[in-house]
Homo-oligomer: A and B are copies of this chain.
């Protein structure tokens, strides 16, 4: 809708539209997303523009959907934000006394006696009240969402049949996409993996998009034809990579493949961002040809495929408030990268070629056989109860150290960690030992369970755990707490709950996931070599199996039954061979079809 970069005349006419940064300094005009998200003039003029746009193009036959603004995310600390923030807080807490209690402002005599004393938390001001920081993040996410809603409400009124969305990107830490998702008719994702991004990380974001959309097909709105210009390092995409990444998106639930950008701008910040048509100005380029070929291939695909979707029995919980809490500046250990830790667990599941939904802790967990929630520091009483009930009713739950620490206002859970998960996990964490960088401990098997053996390395953090019903699978090998529990399993009702009291190496995570998955019958559709990704989309009896070769060599994959590759229309009886960057989308062949083909080939 063209509202992501306000024109210069607007900034000139309404200087307050420019945001105030972390140092309390007002930005000057330039770039894009350079506005205060609470500014009333900006919101009014954005709505005016969108109204005119909808009136002019609302009936245009080429109008497929509305893409509102672009990659939201501006943060501001101006006076108007301060005013709006106080109103937001009044809605949350009602009165100052409640706010003071929820933020524990009595510490260091920070008690507020008037609403005006509450200031946006710039780098020049308050950084010792975690509740303030959490709530300002919630407020800023809401303020951005209100900008979106302001435009969307007009579009919805004027063109009620046209889907509306904005593009999600990043991953943007400042926007709680789980609170945005219900307002998107389509979940649209800008996919910009770096040259060295692991395919499982790319898949993580794809599965998150599917989770945001509660399983609906999501839109691959942007990807680069070749290189970008804004990563620290921007090598071009090797031949075949763009196609492989597109099929990976489809394998994870997208029904689309769009690109940024059609043609390179002659100057400006993105002049060196790749395009379908480069500065050379014609189509006789490798990049154009690869996209044209892909387009033809997609056009020829079964329409059936569009009706299918990935189906998961495993959920990985992710939450923005928890992200903010885990990476708060006053945590006991050295910095934790929440996404990286989530992705390490996701990676183990991805390698097992089982489909995973990435969902919020607010989601109904009952459809899932297995639920993982690494580093669930921030957890409400209700979430704790939901998880406990889920386990009691037969679910399997896995969490880690630094979980169950604070409630949704960042108040420590009293009475023993992990707070509301203590009964579910059957443990009490008396102390935690954040390790210096480079220091490790060892995980030894307790030999309590026959299918759990092996010695592993761990680092970053070790909890000192008391068993309160749980059983130790692994114990620590070193330090004064050698012998104490490091990985535990607790049986509760019909289910069980695992606790990982440290950060284990990848191999340990993989082994533990494998043990649990085996126990629960969560197995891959195909056995494949390393570097091959397998995933399925299905609908009723229709099943498509995607095989993606992320490795740099040719790979032979054994098939459990004769299958047809819908990309090539070729049949494969016992196996299929894929070159590096190669893909296949397989459907089972009816038995007689094969015999026919065999006759043909004789």
Give the residue name and chain of the B residue nearest to A128 (CB): B269
CA distance A286 to B432 in the complex (A): 12
Are the C-beta atoms of A414 and B108 separated by less than 8 Å? Answer: no
**Residue in B closest to A194 when the chains form the complex, CB atoms:** B436
Asked if A385 lies at the interface with its beta carbon under 8 angstroms from chain B, I say no
User: Which of chain B's residues has its CB closest to A410's CB?
Assistant: B267
Q: A413 contacts which of B8, B279, B413, B433 (Cβ < 8 Å)?
A: B279
Residues of the B chain whose Cβ atoms lie less than 8 Å from the Cβ of A410: 267
Given contacts A23-B23, A108-B5, A431-B287, contact A279 B125 (CB under 8 A): no
**For chain A, what secondary structure do more than half of its interface residues adopt (helix, strand, loop), or is it mixed?**
loop
Cα A116 to Cα B28 with chains together (Å): 12
Beyond A117-B12, A432-B236, A434-B235, whether A27 also contacts B124 by CB under 8 A is: yes
Q: Is A233 an interface residue (CB 8 A)?
A: yes
- Assuming the contacts A27-B125, A28-B125, asked whether A268 and B130 have C-beta atoms less than 8 A apart, the reply is yes
What's the Cα separation between A270 and B7 when bound, in Å?
A: 45
The answer to whether A330 touches B104 (Cβ under 8 A) is no
Cβ contact within 8 Å between A119 and B2: no
Q: Which 8 A-B pairs have the closest CB atoms?
A: A30-B126, A28-B125, A107-B268, A128-B269, A104-B267, A8-B117, A30-B125, A233-B436
Q: Are A107 and B12 in contact (CB under 8 A)?
A: no
Task: Please determine whether B117 and A9 come into contact, CB atoms closer than 8 angstroms.
Answer: yes
A112 at interface, CB cutoff 8 A: yes
Binding site for B on A (CB under 8 A): 2, 5-9, 11-12, 21, 23-32, 103-104, 107-114, 116-117, 119, 121-122, 124-131, 195-196, 226-227, 229-230, 232-236, 238-239, 264-272, 279-281, 285-287, 330-334, 406, 409-417, 428, 430-437, 439, 464, 479-480
**B29 in contact with A232 (CB, 8 Å):** no
A272 touches B12 (CB 8 A): no
**Whose C-beta in chain B lies nearest to the C-beta of A433?**
B236
The residue from B238, B287, B479 contacting A480, defined by CB atoms under 8 A apart: B238
- How far apart sit A21 and B122, CA to CA, in the bound complex (Å)? 14
A72 to chain B, nearest CB (A): 16
Q: Which chain B residue has the least Cβ–Cβ distance from A107? A: B268
Complex contacts, A285 vs chain B, CB 8 Å: 430-431
Instruction: Please tell me if the beta carbons of A234 and B434 are within 8 angstroms of each other in the complex.
Output: yes
Can you add 18 more A-B contacts, CB < 8 Å, to A104-B271, A233-B435, A235-B434? A8-B117, A23-B25, A25-B25, A28-B122, A28-B126, A30-B121, A108-B268, A129-B267, A130-B267, A131-B267, A227-B332, A234-B332, A235-B436, A267-B411, A272-B330, A280-B428, A281-B414, A281-B416
Q: Which residue of the partner chain B has the closest CB to A432?
A: B236
Of chain B, the residue at the smallest CB distance from A284 is: B430
A393 to chain B, nearest CB (A): 29
Please indicate the chain B residues that have their CB under 8 angstroms from the CB of A268 in the complex.
Answer: 104, 107-108, 110, 128-130
Residues of B within 8 A of A28 (CB): 24, 119, 122, 124-126
A127 to B268, CA, bound (A): 9
Partner of A109, one of B5, B124, B431: B5
Instruction: Looking at the assembled complex, report how far the CB atom of A239 sits from the nearest CB atom of chain B, in whole angstroms.
Output: 6
- Is there contact, CB below 8 Å, between A286 and B126? no
* Distance A482 CA – B409 CA, assembled complex (angstroms): 58
- A2 CB contacts on chain B under 8 angstroms: 109
25 intermolecular pairs with C-beta atoms under 8 Å apart = A12-B116, A23-B23, A25-B124, A28-B125, A29-B126, A30-B126, A31-B108, A31-B128, A104-B266, A104-B268, A107-B265, A107-B270, A110-B268, A128-B268, A195-B436, A227-B433, A235-B435, A264-B412, A266-B411, A267-B412, A271-B330, A272-B330, A280-B428, A280-B430, A287-B431
A8-B113, A234-B434 known; A119+B226 contact, CB < 8 A: no
Q: How far is the CB of A92 from chain B (nearest CB, A)?
A: 16
A286 CB to closest chain B CB, in angstroms?
A: 7
A233 to B460, CA, bound (A): 10
